Amino acid sequence: MTRRGLDPDQVSAEFREFWAQRRTGILVTPRRDGTPHVVAVGVTLDVEAGLARVICSRGSQKARNVAAGGPAGVRAVVSQVDGRRWSSLEGRAVVCEDRESVTEAERRYEARYRAPRVNPQRVVIEISIDRVLGMA
C-alpha cells in the first residue's frame, strides 16, 4: 500500500490499531552530511491532525538533525514492524518546543506507552505526514 497523505476518512480501523498498539518505532532523519540517522523511538500517530510525534530531549541527535532544517524542517520517516506487517509514515519534520505541543505529545505518549519521565529539556518532533506506505 502506498498512499499520499493521511485522509482520516480513508484510514482503516486496522491501521489505527496497528499504530495504537504498544511497539517500538524507527525514526530516520538526515544528518548534516546527508547520511541517515536511524534510531528506535516511541512514536504516536494523530490521524485527524495528520501528525506523527516523537518526544525527546532538545540536545538529542534526532532533535538536532531536525532542527538543522530550520523552520522549514527536514524530510523524515517513522516506521514500525510487526512480523510481516509494517508501516512507514513520511513527511516534513519540525521541532516544537512550545508547552502546548509538548504537553499534547506527552499525553499521547502516555496513552500508548507509559507516563514519560520528567524532562525539562523535552521537545517534540512533529512529522506532517504526506506519504503512507505499508503491508498488511
Q: How high is the pLDDT of residue 1?
A: 53
**pLDDT digits 0-9 by tens, 70-98:** 999 999 999 999 999 999 999 999 999 99
* Strand locations in 18-121 (E): 25-30, 36-41, 44-46, 51-57, 74-82, 85-96
- Percent pLDDT > 70 in the chain is 96
Contact 128, 92 (CB under 8 A): yes
Q: What gap in Å lies between CA 20 and CA 103, rounded to an integer?
A: 18
Question: What are the boundaries of each domain within the chain?
Answer: 2-135
Nearest of 19, 43, 35 to residue 93 by alpha carbon = 43
CA distance 73 to 82: 29
Q: Where residue 35 falls among pLDDT bands split at 50, 70, 90?
A: very high
Could you report how far apart the first and last alpha carbons of the chain are, in Å? 8
Q: Amino acid identity of 46?
A: D
Would you place residue 2 in the very low, low, confident or very high pLDDT band (cuts 50, 70, 90)?
low
Distance, in Å, from the CA atom of 35 to the CA atom of 124, rounded to the nearest integer, reads 22
Give me the CATH code for the 2-135 domain, please. Answer: 2.30.110.10
Distance from C-alpha of 81 to C-alpha of 36, rounded to nearest angstrom = 19
Q: Confidence band (pLDDT; 50, 70, 90) for 32?
A: very high
Predicted model pTM: 0.94
